[in-house]
C-alpha cells in the first residue's frame, strides 16, 4: 500500500516538482554546512573542544539546530537560532506593542508578510550578537587565535568583522532557503531545515558508536555485545517514544460550537433559521516545540555565561571562582538538572499556551460570528469556559512533554542525553520531538497537495 502511495505522489506533476525543489535546496544547504568561516580551522576547533568537555556539552545543545556545523564552524553554524528567537520575541511583543497587535489583528497575507519582514529585520542584529558571543566563547578556549579575533585591535578588526558578517549572512541565507521551500517546495521551510539538521549527523554518530565499541568487526568481546544490546535498546525506546509523541501531537479536545445559518424554503423564499454545528480543537500541546526551546535556552544560559567568565586571566577572583563552580555544578550531568528542566518545561508550556490563547481571542471572535458554546453566554463567559478547558488540557500536555524530555536522563543505556567529548549522542529528547512534529506536518501537507491534485484532475 505504501508503494502505491509513493507512486501516486510521484505521478502528480505539481507535487513531484515541489519535492524535487525541496530536495535541491536541502542539498545546497548541506553543502554550505561544510564551508568553514574564513580564518578558522575546523581541526583547531575540534581539538580545542576535545580539551574542554564542559564546553562540548554546550556545543551539543547548540548543535541540535545546526546539524553539527558548529564543530566545523561553517558559514551556517548559527543555524536558524537567531531567526527563531526573533520570531518568538515578535510573537510575545504583539501583546505589548499596540502597532504589532494591530498588524496581527488585521490578518490576511499582507499582515503576515509585514510581520515576517519585521522578524527578518530583528534577526540580523540577533545573529550578529550571537555570532560575536560564539566567537568570543571559542576564542577563550583557543579554538580561534587571538591574532585573528579582536574588535578593539586595529590589526585584527577587519578579520573579526569579516567573521561576524559571514556568520550573520549565513543566518539570513538559511532563512532565505527556508522561505524558498515554503513558497515553492513542500512543508514549512524553516522546520524542514531543522528536521534535516537533526537527522544528518545520525549516520556518522551510529558509525562512530559501532567503531568505538568494536561492533561489526572481528571482535566478539563482552564490550561489543553489551554495546550492541544498548543500541537495540535505544532503537526500541526511540520507536516507543515516537509513537507516544505522535499521539500527543495529534491529540486535541474538541469543544462543540453552534454557528447560525439560514435556509431558503418554498416559492415565497421564506427564511428558516437553523444552526450549524462545528468545534474548536484545543491541542494537547498548543506550543509545539517552542516551550522546549525556551526551556533549553534558560537552562543553557548559565553554562554559556560561566564559560565566558571562568578564564584564568580574569583578575576578579570571586567572579572567576563563581564561574568555575557554575561550570562544575550547572551542567546536564548534575543530579538536580533533570528535575529543574522538568519544572522549566512545564512553566513555559503554560506560558506559551496562555500567550497563544490571548492571541486567538476565541470568545470575541465567536461573538462577532454569532456563534456560541451551548450553555454559555457569548463573550466573557465563553472566553472563561474555553480558558478553563485550555488549562486542563495543557496540564496533561505539559506533563507529557516534560516527562519525555527528562526520561532519557534516567536510562543509562539510552544515549539520547546531551553528548559530550566522551560519548556519542544519537538524538536528544528535544530533537526527537521536533522530528515527529515536523514529520507529521509535512505528511499532512503532502496529503493535502495530493488531494488537491486529484480533484483538479477530476474537474479538468
Handedness of CA 449, 450, 451, 452 (dihedral sign): positive
CA distance 234 to 424: 12
Question: Taking 80 as the threshold, does the pLDDT of residue 2 lie above it?
Answer: no
Percent of the chain with pLDDT over 70: 73
Any residues with CB less than 8 A from the CB of 73 and at least 6 apart, and which? 36, 37, 40, 42, 45, 138, 143
The conformation of residue 37, written as its DSSP 8-state character, comes to P
pLDDT in tens, 313-341: 556 666 667 766 776 667 767 778 888 88
Query: Is residue 417 very low, low, confident or very high in pLDDT (cuts 50, 70, 90)?
Result: very low
Comparing C-alpha atoms, which of 297, 327, 331, 337 is closest to residue 140? 327
Question: Taking 50 as the threshold, does the pLDDT of residue 58 lie above it?
Answer: yes
Question: Taking 50 as the threshold, does the pLDDT of residue 421 lie above it?
Answer: no
CA distance 341 to 415: 18
**DSSP codes of every residue in 21-78:** HHHHHHHHHHHHTTSBPTT--HHHHHHHHHT-HHHHHHHHHHGGGTTTHHHHTBTTTT
3-state helix, strand, coil in the chain (%, to 5): 70, 5, 25
pTM to 2 decimals? 0.77
pLDDT in tens, 84-108: 888 878 877 877 888 887 877 776 6
CA distance 392 to 384: 13
Structure confidence at residue 99 (pLDDT): 83
Which residues is 258 bridged to in the sheet?
Answer: 277, 372
Structure confidence at residue 216 (pLDDT): 56
Structure confidence at residue 28 (pLDDT): 93
Query: Is residue 56 very low, low, confident or very high in pLDDT (cuts 50, 70, 90)?
Result: low
How many C-beta atoms surround the C-beta of residue 397 within 10 A? 25
Question: Taking 70 as the threshold, does the pLDDT of residue 399 lie above it?
Answer: yes
Residue 410 CA: distances (Å) to CA of 153, 404, 423: 48, 11, 16
Query: Is residue 448 very low, low, confident or very high in pLDDT (cuts 50, 70, 90)?
Result: confident
Across 434-453, average pLDDT: 80
- Domain architecture of the chain: domains with CATH: 20-200 (1.10.3370.10), 201-427 (1.10.3370.10)
Residue 191 CA: distances (Å) to CA of 198, 203, 359, 391: 11, 20, 22, 27
Residue 198 CB-half CA count within 13 A: 22
pLDDT in tens, 230-281: 777 777 877 888 888 888 888 888 888 887 765 545 544 444 455 577 788 8
Cα of first residue to Cα of last residue in the chain, in angstroms, is 27
Nine-digit cell at 35? 564551508
Question: Taking 90 as the threshold, does the pLDDT of residue 169 lie above it?
Answer: yes
Question: Taking 50 as the threshold, does the pLDDT of residue 458 lie above it?
Answer: no
Give the 3-state secondary structure of residue 279: strand
What are the start-end ranges of the E strands in 221-329?
252-265, 270-283
Amino acid at each position: 500500500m505504501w508503494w502505491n502511495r509513493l507512486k501516486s505522489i510521484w505521478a502528480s506533476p505539481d507535487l513531484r516538482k515541489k519535492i524535487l525543489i525541496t530536495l535541491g535546496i536541502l542539498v545546497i544547504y548541506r553543502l554550505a554546512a561544510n564551508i568553514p568561516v574564513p580564518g578558522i580551522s575546523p581541526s583547531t576547533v575540534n581539538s580545542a573542544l576535545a580539551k574542554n568537555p564542559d564546553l562540548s556539552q554546550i556545543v551539543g545543545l547548540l548543535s541540535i539546530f545546526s546539524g553539527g556545523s558548529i564543530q566545523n564552524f561553517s558559514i551556517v553554524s548559527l543555524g536558524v537560532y537567531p531567526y527563531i528567537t526573533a520570531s518568538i520575541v515578535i510573537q510575545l511583543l504583539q501583546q505589548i506593542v499596540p502597532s504589532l497587535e494591530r498588524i496581527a489583528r488585521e490578518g490576511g497575507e499582507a499582515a503576515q508578510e509585514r510581520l515576517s519582514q519585521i522578524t527578518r529585520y530583528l534577526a540580523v542584529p540577533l545573529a550578529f550578537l550571537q555570532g560575536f558571543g560564539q566567537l568570543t566563547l571559542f576564542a577563550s578556549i583557543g579554538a580561534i587565535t587571538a591574532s585573528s579575533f579582536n574588535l578593539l585591535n586595529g590589526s585584527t578588526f577587519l578579520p573579526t568583522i569579516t567573521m561576524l558578517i559571514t556568520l550573520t549572512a549565513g543566518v539570513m541565507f538559511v532563512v532565505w532557503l527556508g522561505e524558498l521551500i515554503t513558497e515553492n517546495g513542500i512543508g514549512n521551510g524553516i522546520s524542514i531545515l531543522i528536521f534535516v539538521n537533526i537527522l544528518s549527523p545520525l549516520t556518522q554518530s551510529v558509525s562512530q558508536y559501532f567503531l568505538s565499541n568494536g561492533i561489526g568487526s572481528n571482535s566478539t568481546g563482552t564490550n561489543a555485545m553489551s554495546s550492541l544490546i544498548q543500541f537495540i535498546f535505544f532503537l526500541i525506546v526511540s520507536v516507543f517514544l515516537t509513537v507516544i509523541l505522535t499521539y500527543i501531537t495529534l491529540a486535541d479536545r474538541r469543544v462543540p460550537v453552534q454557528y447560525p445559518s439560514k435556509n431558503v424554503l418554498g416559492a415565497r423564499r421564506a427564511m428558516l433559521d437553523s444552526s450549524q454545528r462545528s468545534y474548536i480543537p484545543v491541542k494537547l500541546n498548543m506550543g509545539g516545540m517552542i516551550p522546549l526551546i525556551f526551556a533549553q535556552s534558560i537552562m543553557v544560559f548559565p553554562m554559556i555565561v560561566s564559560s565566558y567568565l571562568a578564564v584564568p586571566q580574569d583578575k576578579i577572583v570571586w567572579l572567576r571562582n563563581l564561574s568555575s563552580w557554575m561550570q562544575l555544578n550547572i551542567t546536564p550531568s548534575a543530579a538536580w538538572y533533570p528535575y529543574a528542566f522538568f519544572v522549566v518545561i512545564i512553566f513555559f508550556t503554560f506560558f506559551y499556551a496562555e500567550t497563544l490563547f490571548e492571541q486567538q481571542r476565541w470568545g470575541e471572535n465567536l461573538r462577532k460570528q454569532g456563534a456560541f458554546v451551548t450553555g454559555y453566554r457569548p463573550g466573557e463567559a465563553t472566553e472563561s469556559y474555553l480558558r478553563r478547558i485550555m488549562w486542563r488540557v495543557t496540564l496533561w500536555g505539559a506533563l507529557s512533554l516534560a516527562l519525555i524530555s527528562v526520561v532519557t536522563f534516567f536510562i543509562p543505556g539510552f544515549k539520547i542525553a546531551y553528548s559530550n567529548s566522551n560519548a556519542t549522542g544519537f538524538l536528544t529528547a528535544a530533537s526527537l520531538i521536533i522530528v515527529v512534529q515536523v514529520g507529521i506536518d509535512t505528511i499532512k501537507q503532502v496529503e493535502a497537495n495530493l488531494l488537491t491534485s486529484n480533484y483538479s484532475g477530476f474537474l479538468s
